[in-house]
Protein backbone atom coordinates (compact mmCIF):
# COMPACT_ATOMS: atom_id res chain seq x y z
CA UNK A 1 0.00 0.00 0.00
CA UNK A 2 2.74 2.43 0.83
CA UNK A 3 4.63 1.33 -2.26
CA UNK A 4 1.69 2.25 -4.46
CA UNK A 5 1.70 5.83 -3.20
CA UNK A 6 5.43 6.17 -3.82
CA UNK A 7 5.03 4.73 -7.31
CA UNK A 8 2.27 7.18 -8.15
CA UNK A 9 4.34 10.11 -6.86
CA UNK A 10 7.39 9.04 -8.87
CA UNK A 11 5.33 8.64 -12.04
CA UNK A 12 3.84 12.11 -11.47
CA UNK A 13 7.38 13.44 -11.05
CA UNK A 14 8.49 12.06 -14.42
CA UNK A 15 5.37 13.37 -16.14
CA UNK A 16 5.75 16.91 -14.78
CA UNK A 17 9.45 16.96 -15.66
CA UNK A 18 8.61 15.97 -19.23
CA UNK A 19 5.88 18.59 -19.43
CA UNK A 20 8.21 21.31 -18.18
CA UNK A 21 10.82 20.35 -20.75
CA UNK A 22 8.60 20.04 -23.79
CA UNK A 23 6.36 23.06 -23.54
CA UNK A 24 6.91 26.11 -25.74
CA UNK A 25 5.40 28.66 -23.41
CA UNK A 26 7.98 29.48 -20.75
CA UNK A 27 5.41 30.64 -18.19
CA UNK A 28 3.59 27.31 -18.44
CA UNK A 29 6.90 25.48 -18.05
CA UNK A 30 7.62 27.37 -14.85
CA UNK A 31 4.22 26.72 -13.29
CA UNK A 32 4.60 23.03 -14.08
CA UNK A 33 8.07 23.17 -12.53
CA UNK A 34 6.50 24.54 -9.36
CA UNK A 35 4.21 21.49 -9.36
CA UNK A 36 7.31 19.32 -9.75
CA UNK A 37 8.73 20.89 -6.60
CA UNK A 38 5.50 20.17 -4.74
CA UNK A 39 5.56 16.47 -5.68
CA UNK A 40 9.22 16.32 -4.71
CA UNK A 41 8.37 17.76 -1.27
CA UNK A 42 5.73 15.02 -0.82
CA UNK A 43 8.34 12.42 -1.76
CA UNK A 44 10.75 13.72 0.85
CA UNK A 45 8.03 13.20 3.44
CA UNK A 46 7.50 9.62 2.19
CA UNK A 47 11.23 9.01 2.64
CA UNK A 48 11.03 10.20 6.27
CA UNK A 49 12.98 13.44 5.78
CA UNK A 50 10.87 16.24 7.32
CA UNK A 51 13.55 18.93 7.22
CA UNK A 52 14.03 18.38 3.51
CA UNK A 53 10.28 18.47 2.88
CA UNK A 54 9.98 21.82 4.67
CA UNK A 55 12.91 23.36 2.82
CA UNK A 56 11.95 22.00 -0.60
CA UNK A 57 8.36 23.21 -0.26
CA UNK A 58 9.45 26.72 0.75
CA UNK A 59 12.31 27.00 -1.73
CA UNK A 60 10.73 25.29 -4.72
CA UNK A 61 7.30 26.82 -4.61
CA UNK A 62 8.24 30.19 -3.20
CA UNK A 63 11.73 31.29 -4.10
CA UNK A 64 12.60 29.52 -7.34
CA UNK A 65 9.24 30.10 -9.02
CA UNK A 66 9.16 33.82 -8.31
CA UNK A 67 12.78 34.21 -9.47
CA UNK A 68 11.98 32.48 -12.74
CA UNK A 69 8.84 34.55 -13.28
CA UNK A 70 10.82 37.73 -12.69
CA UNK A 71 13.41 36.60 -15.23
CA UNK A 72 10.70 35.90 -17.82
CA UNK A 73 9.10 39.24 -17.10
CA UNK A 74 12.37 40.93 -17.92
CA UNK A 75 13.03 38.92 -21.06
CA UNK A 76 10.50 37.15 -23.24
CA UNK A 77 7.72 34.74 -22.64
CA UNK A 78 7.62 32.43 -25.63
CA UNK A 79 10.39 30.19 -26.75
CA UNK A 80 11.52 31.11 -30.24
CA UNK A 81 10.62 28.85 -33.13
CA UNK A 82 13.64 27.37 -34.81
CA UNK A 83 14.30 28.93 -38.21
CA UNK A 84 12.15 32.01 -37.80
CA UNK A 85 13.86 35.36 -37.91
CA UNK A 86 11.35 37.55 -36.12
CA UNK A 87 10.48 37.19 -32.47
CA UNK A 88 6.94 36.00 -31.97
CA UNK A 89 5.20 37.26 -28.87
CA UNK A 90 8.39 38.95 -27.80
CA UNK A 91 6.81 42.07 -26.37
CA UNK A 92 4.05 40.24 -24.62
CA UNK A 93 3.91 40.90 -20.90
CA UNK A 94 1.21 40.12 -18.36
CA UNK A 95 -2.05 41.98 -18.69
CA UNK A 96 -2.25 45.41 -17.23
CA UNK A 97 1.39 46.28 -17.16
CA UNK A 98 2.31 49.27 -19.31
Partner 1 sequence: MDRLLDNYHYAAAAILFCIGLYSVIVRPNIIKKIIGLNIMETSVFLLLVSMGWKDGGIAPIHGGGAEAAAMVNPIPQALILTGIVVAVSTTAVALSLVILLYRQYGTLDVDRLMKEEESESAPAGAGSGEG
Partner 2 sequence: MKKVISLCFIGALGVLLLMVMASMPRMGDPQSPTNTRVIDRYLEGAEEETGTENVITGVILNYRGYDTMGEVTVIFTGLAAVLAVLGRERRGRIHAYPDRSPIRPSIIVRSAVSFLLPFIVLFSLYTVLHGEISPGGGFQGGAVLAAGMFVFAAAFGLWRAGRTVPPWLRYAVEGAAPVTFFLVGAAGLVGGAEFLTYMLPKASAGLQPSLRTWMTLLVEGGIGAGGAMIFLSILMAMAREEDAGGQAA
Tell me which of 5, 14, 18, 70 binds partner 2, using CB under 8 A. Answer: 70
| Distance in Å, CB of 95 to partner 2, minimum | 8
* Residues between 23 and 62 with contacts to partner 1, criterion CB under 8 A: 26, 29-30, 33, 36-37, 40, 43-44, 47-52, 55-56, 59
Q: Which residues pair with 72 in a beta bridge?
A: none
Question: Phi and psi for 8 in degrees, rounded to 5?
Answer: -65, -40
3-state secondary structure of 76: coil
The item of partner 2, partner 1, none sharing an interface with residue 66, based on CB under 5 to 8 Å by kind, is partner 2
Stretch that binds partner 2, among 9-17, 19-27, 34-42, 61-69 (CB under 8 A): 61-69
* Residues between 17 and 56 with contacts to partner 2, criterion CB under 8 A: 50-51, 54-55
Residue 20 burial by Cβ neighbours in a 10 Å radius (0-12, 13-18, 19+): middle
User: How many Cβ atoms are within 10 Å of 43's Cβ, its own excluded?
Assistant: 19
Amino acid sequence: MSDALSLVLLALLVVTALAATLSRDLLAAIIVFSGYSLVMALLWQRLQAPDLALTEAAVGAGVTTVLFVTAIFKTQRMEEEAGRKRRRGGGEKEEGRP
